[in-house]
A = this chain, B = another copy of it.
Amino acid sequence: MLVSRRLTGARARAPLLASLLEAWCRQGRTTSSYSAFSEPSHVRALVYGNHGDPAKVIHSGVPGTGLYECCYMSAEDWKSGPCASQKTLIAARRDINLELTAVEGSDVHVKMLAAPINPSDINMIQGNYGLLPKLPAVGGNEGVGQVIAVGSSVSGLKPGDWVIPANAGLGTWRTEAVFSEEALIGVPKDIPLQSAATLGVNPCTAYRMLVDFEQLQPGDSVIQNASNSGVGQAVIQIASALGLKTINVIRDRPDIKKLTDRLKDLGADYVLTEEELRMPETKNIFKDLPLPRLALNCVGGKSSTELLRHLAPGGTMVTYGGMAKQPVTASVSMLIFKDLKLRGFWLSQWKKNHSPDEFKELILFLCNLIRQGQLTAPAWSGIPLQDYQQALEASMKPFVSSKQILTM
């Protein structure tokens, strides 16, 4: 195991430090409940010092190139006996200040409760993302925490409140932290914890894509690929709540009926495999349904070309992911004669272009859907933070059917 190997290296040069580190990590590994991490001195975080493939880094154990499980008490301890494999950890300690500071002014001390592993988190660690944090950094961009204490000038939050990150890059894969009030948004506590933990990215992305690009009316249809992704499941549910019909494309897989049934239970009107979408019979769907004016693409390559083929003239395809790692391709005639529009969506950019209040309004709208039973969290597996390796591996496997949520 990576942590053990690192500790071996550390032990050779700094025996006291290594012993402490191992002891803390063991504590974390055997105790996954929230209360186990209630002492500020036991802050734990998943930190990466360089960009790379998270799975490879974890398995290869190459120092300084990937994720670390870190246990900190004080910076001085770390400085006492660095070895090569620890240099990044020390840098992390210095630069990202995992140590909790006194809670003053607009500070908010937050204990993280749960944080998902999203594809965009993985892309960020790999360095394939539009926003890359200064390294070393704490992983994770989404999650829900509970306020422990607030500084004197904090007016919008109080101890006990639930909060989610206002923006990407907060570093949610940690047990606790002191953040600035403006980095957080309060969410109601009468929604399920897993819904709150997965509220700030995927459902927001789904909603904005459904309403910002084409003015759809109840009865209109939307086509999407990667329909089983977190966004995909949110699209199905929010579209259904808005009276829109969804045509949902998924990759063929073992036990596909189970997935199809689950998506239909969420409100999917049609569920098709990529292969079925290419068949001439697919057009029969459009005897009962208007051609979609909106396509949502999280795949790219051939899959997105196929979405374009089924769009109504003048329709828009919005790309928000590229799981196939292939570009989006459109024939010239589709652009000119069919007037198809190719766009992209990135929630971080949307937030930059809109006020925090508009984001809060969106969050509250989605919370209402959750309360009304119209929006549930995606199928999920809760994994204790210290078992992050298992969670990361599961999140990157093909045909993942559940969102990995780290619990603290």
- Tell me which residues across on chain B come within 8 A of A334, comparing CB atoms: 344
A347 nearest in chain B by CB position: B336
Contact A349 B341 (CB under 8 A): no
- Tell me which residues across on chain B come within 8 A of A338, comparing CB atoms: 130, 344
A286 close to B (CB within 8 Å): no
A299 nearest in chain B by CB position: B332
Contact B339 A341 (CB under 8 A): no
A128 to B333, CA, bound (A): 9
Give the residues from 306 to 350 in chain A that come closer than 8 angstroms, CB to CB, to chain B: 319-322, 327-346, 349
* A281-297 interface code vs B (CB 8 A; 1 in, 0 out): 00000000000000000
A304 nearest in chain B by CB position: B332
Supposing A341-B341, A341-B343, A342-B341 touch, asked if A332 and B327 sit within 8 A by C-beta, the answer is yes
A343 nearest in chain B by CB position: B341
Shortest Cβ gap from A288 to chain B (Å): 28
A300 close to B (CB within 8 Å): yes
A59 to B333, CA, bound (A): 28
A340 nearest in chain B by CB position: B344
- Tell me which residues across on chain B come within 8 A of A128, comparing CB atoms: 333
Shortest Cβ gap from A122 to chain B (Å): 15
Shortest Cβ gap from A191 to chain B (Å): 28
Contact A335 B329 (CB under 8 A): no
A320 to B332, CA, bound (A): 8
Contact A321 B328 (CB under 8 A): no
The residues of A with any CB-CB pair to B shorter than 8 Å are 128-131, 300, 319-322, 327-346, 349
A sample of 30 inter-chain contacts (CB < 8 A) reads A128-B333, A130-B333, A130-B336, A130-B337, A300-B332, A319-B335, A320-B336, A321-B332, A321-B336, A322-B331, A327-B330, A327-B332, A328-B330, A328-B331, A328-B332, A328-B335, A329-B329, A330-B342, A332-B344, A335-B344, A337-B344, A337-B346, A337-B349, A339-B349, A340-B344, A341-B341, A341-B342, A341-B343, A342-B342, A342-B343
